[in-house]
Amino acid sequence: MDDAELFRTWIETNPPDPRDKEQSGKQTGRPSRPGAHTRLDLHGQTVAASEDLVRQFIRRAKAAGTRQVIIITGKGMHSGRAGGVLKDHVASFLDSGRAGVIRGWRRGNPHEGGEGSIIVDI
């Protein structure tokens, strides 16, 4: 299964929660709920697959006018000695610019998933 097919399968089995989707304002075309988030959960994904998933997720969020998204990487507690491989890789991937142009990112606050999440400003 190639990465594109993996992404399509993941999207089909993990549809977005309509409560998390920002709605466009009728007059301005801007999201009417600037604090709303869209989430991508990468639990169980490989480093290679995570790059394509993140890249496509950011591209779609940007096209939808979303201003901020949450990428859930997990804390890496089950990664053995390496610990947090995915969370560190996604952070480096965002810094590299290969995920697309973003305004910035930060680790999540405790109520947003803490060290197991990355908040991306688009």
The pTM assigned to this predicted structure is: 0.65
Is residue 111, in this structure, part of any structural domain at all?
yes
Domain that holds residue 50: 3-18+36-121
Number of domains in the chain: 1
Amino acid identity of residue 26, one-letter, is K
Residue with the larger pLDDT of the pair 71 and 11: 71
Is residue 23, in this structure, part of any structural domain at all?
no
Is residue 26, in this structure, part of any structural domain at all?
no
Q: Which CATH number does the domain housing residue 101 bear?
A: 3.30.1370.110
Q: What is the mean pLDDT of the chain?
A: 78
What pLDDT does residue 1 have?
A: 61
What pLDDT does residue 87 have?
A: 86
The pLDDT confidence band at residue 92, using thresholds 50, 70 and 90, is very high
CB under 8 Å to 41, separation ≥6 — which residues?
A: 14, 72
Is residue 96, in this structure, part of any structural domain at all?
yes
What pLDDT does residue 36 have?
A: 45
Is residue 24, in this structure, part of any structural domain at all?
no
Q: Order of strands, edge to edge, in the sheet holding 104-107?
A: 38-41, 68-72, 117-121, 104-107
Is residue 28, in this structure, part of any structural domain at all?
no
Residue that is written with structure tokens 């299964």 in the block? 1
